Amino acid sequence: MMRKDDILIRRATILDASLLADVGAVCFRDAFGADNDPEDLKLHLETTYNVETIRQALDDPTITYLIAEISGTAFGFARLSVAETPVKITLNDAIELQQIYVLKRGWGKGFGPTLMEKSVEFARDHQKTGLWLGVWKKNNRAIAFYKKWGFEITGEHTFMVGNDSQQDFLMELAFRQA
């Protein structure tokens, strides 16, 4: 029986590239496969979740992956970027939560909240003003999760899945100053 207390969050290393590629592809396909053209989905998965692309991200000092696991078995990850905040974001000096993915078998078991807690902690440890993210307008489950954490919709932007242009909400979580 899984318990939230058993979840370990660790920073990914280059040795995790294949794991991250596999988990990312499965999570993306499970979440968005039914709502996307198969060719666009295939193209997105091939370009975004191949091992070399993940290795390059792991080598990028502005990107951090946090892996959620129990007893060495990964159930999901968060990808955070400290790269410059785009103009469309109202927060100054915030971290982008680029992905927070949990495998279906881990849904409802505390992986998502634990990854979010660690993402908030990561941003606070870097003295950032908050977190921001893009989420597909049709992803009601994720939108509800982010709103529960205090994220607010502040705008929109375009996200490409293969050759399909899709609209995302931009959401921001401003940290309260102590």
The CATH number covering residue 97 comes to 3.40.630.30
Q: Residue 177 — very low, low, confident or very high, per pLDDT cuts 50/70/90?
A: low
For residue 38, what are the domain limits?
A: 4-174
For 48-78, the pLDDT digits (tens) are 999 999 999 999 999 999 999 999 999 999 9
d(CA 65, CA 9): 10
Tokens representing residue 67 in the block: 């892996």
Residue 2 reports pLDDT greater than 80 = no
Instruction: Report pLDDT digits (tens) over 72-131.
Output: 999 999 999 998 877 788 888 899 999 999 999 999 999 999 999 999 999 999 999 999
Give pLDDT, residue 112. Answer: 96
Cα-Cα end-to-end distance for the chain: 38
Q: How many domains does the chain have?
A: 1
More confident residue, 162 or 44: 44
